[in-house]
Amino acid sequence: MAQPSKPLKSGDFAVSVAEDPVLWTDRKRVLGLPLSFTRYSLTANKLVLNTGFMSLHEEEVRLYRVRDISLTRTLGERLFGVGTLRVQSSDASIPVMEIRHVKHPQKVKAVLSQCIEDCRVRNGIRTSEVLGGGPAPHPHEPGDGCPEPGVFPDQNQNGVDDRLE
């Protein structure tokens, strides 16, 4: 016989959430030193930006939503061994996240790119879905033996356009 569940106390949860291990973390640097209250962290599923000292603010971008990553290093940043990454995503609350003045920016960009690809594979996300595109335009005329425009070929009947696989 199953034991009766205990009633929840205020602030308790009935379910547990698996922790997502942190793969990288750094702070925004001033003159090469981590003297700011802006912190960045990367997990296998999300990129997190924490800001503030008295009033804390947290933003996150799910990695499968990232569209583009660019790296800039000004002369001053190069002198102090830091760089700035600009992450563009399809996230509504933060479409552009700047990871400013972090150490080893090329390595951070490479790790971030790999995590994005791994996350897309795990979640079954294709590039066309991230970019907002649908099936490729139909190059043929109706009646030439090809499917009608807007109807994609699905030979294995799995609901996916076979031209994209």
pLDDT tier, 130 (very low <50, low <70, confident <90, very high otherwise): very low
Average pLDDT score, the chain? 79
Q: How many CA atoms lie within 13 A of 82 on its CB side?
A: 17
CATH 2.30.30.30 describes domain 22-128: no
Residue 146 predicted with pLDDT over 80: no
- 5-30 pLDDT, tens digit per residue, is 678 788 777 777 778 888 899 999 88
Coil vs helix vs strand at 152 = coil
